[in-house]
Amino acid sequence: MRLPRVGSVTAAIPMAIMVFLGGCGGGPKGTPDTGGIEDAETVSVLETARHAFLAGRYDQATTVYTRALDRAYRLDDVAAIAVAGQELALSELRRGKAADAAAVAARSRSELLRRGRSVPTALTLVEATAHYRLGDAQKTRQLAREITESSKDVLVTARATYLIGLIAADQGDRTALQDAIEKLPASEEPELAADRLALTGRLASLDGDVGTALAAFTAEEKLRRANGDEVGVARALESAARAAESGGRLAEAADLYFRAGRSASLAGPVGSGAAALLRRAEHLARRTGQPGLAAEAGRLRLKLVRP
């Protein structure tokens, strides 16, 4: 995945939602683009926060980005407000704090609009993703459509289209889901290709084509894994588990739920839901005569709830 550059108003692209929003690999690269931020201390704080974010230390990144945003407010520096607000919202999202991410993004958006500045589409994408995680399909769709109708950034537009497709899949709207798939760009970039496979799998699931759904989710998982997207791997496995279960392949579903739950339990705060996945794995493993798998799923689940 492309690494965000500190200071660039359009730099912080949400990580493969994206919730989806997966992890990023590697370390900081290149010279930071200050994006019009002239205060050296603000730039330094943003760089520190960026290093923490890229290292997966999201609590620390959130704390430091908050410091950067506070300083931006003290200096009334709109460029710094845009950057710090956007990246703080993204950090909150990676911590699994969707409500906080949505609130930060909304405040930043309002600030920019009041001052006659354009709102970065990456900021809108973070806000849309946060609302999707909060279960607000209407707000998510509204924000995602704002992006698809105005953004010239292929990646941001594609991720917004992916969100629209996920909503359609969640609502069982086959026509809208097919439309989203058709609008995704044909790309060999792993995260975009994985998004297309995810939606293709969801479409096959709606059609009752379990074999095609499982093939799509398996291919998606492979791409998410190759891209270092831990959360994406867990979600692809969960999608495969649901498809297998819906097709009556319960023994296979038990294994997939277990792998999804195990992956989610290790993916950090955004990998929430692990206990429910492991509980489902345990239940199906017992039903299908897999006592060893049931025991292992139960062991991991109990480990999650212990203080």
pLDDT at 304: 87
- Span 259-284, mean pLDDT? 88
Tens digit of pLDDT for each residue in 195-214?
Answer: 999 999 999 999 999 999 99
CA separation, residue 97 to residues 22, 79, 129, 131, 182 (Å):
15, 25, 11, 11, 32
Alpha-carbon span 225 to 267, nearest angstrom: 12
Distance, CA of 220 to CA of 200 (rounded, Å): 10
CA distance 69 to 61: 12
Question: Three-state SS string across the chain, please?
Answer: CCCCCCCCCCCCCCCECCCCECCCCCCCCCCCCCCCCCCHHHHHHHHHHHHHHHCCCHHHHHHHHHHHHHHHHHHCCHHHHHHHHHHHHHHHHHCCCHHHHHHHHHHHHHHHHHCCCCCCHHHHHHHHHHHHHCCCHHHHHHHHHHHHHHCCCHHHHHHHHHHHHHHHHHCCCHHHHHHHHHHCCCCCCHHHHHHHHHHHHHHHHHCCCHHHHHHHHHHHHHHHHHCCCHHHHHHHHHHHHHHHHHCCCHHHHHHHHHHHHHHHHHCCHHHCCHHHHHHHHHHHHHHCCCHHHHHHHHHHHHHHHCC
The confidence score (pLDDT) of residue 272 equals: 62
* pLDDT given for residue 270 in this prediction: 55
**Within a 10 A sphere around the Cβ of 135, how many other Cβ atoms?**
10
Report the alpha-carbon distance of residue 292 to residue 289 in Å, rounded.
9
Q: What is the pLDDT of residue 268?
A: 67
Mean pLDDT calculated for residue range 294-299:
97
For the segment 217-241, the average pLDDT, to the nearest whole number, is 94
pLDDT, position 7: 33
Residues 274-290: tens digit of each pLDDT: 999 999 999 999 999 99
State the pLDDT confidence band at 171, using cuts at 50, 70 and 90: very high
CA distance 249 to 268: 29
**Each residue's pLDDT tens digit, 88-135:** 999 999 888 999 999 999 999 999 999 999 999 999 999 999 999 999
**Is residue 8 pLDDT above 50, yes or no?**
no
Q: Out of 1.10.10, 1.10.3470, 1.10.287, 1.25.40, which CATH number does the structure's domain 1-133 have? A: 1.25.40
Cα(280)–Cα(164) distance, integer angstroms? 28
Write down the pTM of the prediction: 0.84
Tell me, what's the pLDDT at 236? 97
293: which 2 tokens? 């798998």
Q: What are the boundaries of each domain within the chain? A: 1-133, 222-307
| Measured CA angle at 260 (ends 128, 93), to 5 deg | 25
Q: Could you read off the pLDDT of 155-168 as tens digits, one per residue?
A: 999 999 999 999 99
The per-residue pLDDT for 269 is 63
| Tens of pLDDT, residues 10-41 | 333 433 334 334 433 333 333 334 567 888 99
Q: Give yes or no for residue 66 having a pLDDT over 60.
A: yes
> Predicted confidence band at 82 (pLDDT cuts at 50, 70, 90)?
very high
